[in-house]
Amino acid sequence: MDNPFSLFGKTILVTGASSGIGRAISIECSKMGARVIITGRNKLKLDETLSMMEGNLNKKVIADLTIEKEAEALVSQLPHLDGIVHNAGVGSRVLCKNINMINLTHDFLPNTYAPILFQALLLQHKVINKNSSIVFISSIGAKHPNIANSVYSASKGAIVSYAKCLGLELAPRKIRVNCVCPGMVWTDLIIQDGVTKEDLEVLQNKYALKRYGKPEDIAYLVLYLLSDASSWMTGNAIDISGGGEGILT
């Protein structure tokens, strides 16, 4: 019996695969039978991710997607793809009254500009197969306000709007485009200035399920969107937050 959730025979690219959510997505994709190409800026961490994956056809490519030449070099090394996960990104916290160009560039360059421009390269080089799936990792911050989260939230909200337009443009080729919008997930990104791990362990009790997410929680939803089981889904921005909608801390 065919398994619609299987990724066997598919080639998947995951950006920001060095750690956290990107690492979990890469590992879980390999367990489901995909050939996975992982990319990121940190060679040692990418090597760690690769060592944790199943199969011997997986590949790593070191690249900083905020640098045009490195993004172009990555695309030149890619085979035809059946799935893309745009996961690379950064976080920050700054009050609206203190925002400057450095803050905007810090978030928008990796979170918004880089994935949009990289996706354009992928389309220009025609490396995306028909019936493929493209997934952007956004954030519930795109829809739910929080103090000092405006720049990050705006950068992720822009990706949601972009992805909906991209989905319309690619629909004639049966290429699906969706966003995953996590709440708080236990990764290096959530430990920020002025907030300790102990603080977060208390705050997570505000969530209905009384915990923040694990990277694997996000990976399992991404697997579904990459698989044929979600073949009638496109243009969606799906919250996954343990019942913590509107609660970012």
Q: What pLDDT was estimated at residue 198?
A: 84
Is 195 a residue whose pLDDT tops 90? no
CA–CA dist 226, 27 (Å, integer):
14
> 17, 87 in Cβ contact below 8 A?
yes
Domains of the chain and any CATH numbers: 11-240 (3.40.50.720)
Instruction: Provide the mean pLDDT of the chain.
Output: 94
Q: What pLDDT was estimated at residue 247?
A: 60
State yes or no: is 113 an active-site residue. Answer: no
Q: What pLDDT was estimated at residue 194?
A: 61
* Mean pLDDT across 38-54: 97
* Mean pLDDT across 215-244: 96
Which segment of 100-114, 178-192, 225-239 scores lowest on mean pLDDT? Answer: 178-192
Catalytic hit among 113, 152, 212, 224: 152
pLDDT confidence tier of residue 80, bands split at 50, 70 and 90 = very high
Is 199 a residue whose pLDDT tops 90? no
Direct distance between the N- and C-terminal alpha carbons of the chain, in angstroms, rounded to an integer? 44
* Mean pLDDT across 130-138: 98
In three state form, how does the secondary structure of the chain look? CCCCCCCCCCEEEEECCCCHHHHHHHHHHHHCCCEEEEEECCHHHHHHHHHCCCCCCCEEEECCCCCHHHHHHHHHCCCCEEEEEECCCCCCCCCHHHCCHHHHHHHHHHHHHHHHHHHHHHHHCCCEEEEEEEEEECCHHHCCCCCCCHHHHHHHHHHHHHHHHHHHHHHHHCCEEEEEEECCECCHHHCCCCCCHHHHHHHHHHCCCCCCECHHHHHHHHHHHHCHHHCCCCCCEEEECCCCCCCCC
pLDDT confidence tier of residue 32, bands split at 50, 70 and 90 = very high
* Mean pLDDT across 211-234: 97
Q: What pLDDT was estimated at residue 201?
A: 85
Tell me the percentage of the chain whose pLDDT exceeds 70: 95
Distances (CA, A) of 131 to 69, 70, 83, 179, 244: 29, 27, 9, 17, 33
Tell which wins on pLDDT, 120 or 243.
120
pLDDT, tens only, 142-154: 998 889 999 999 9
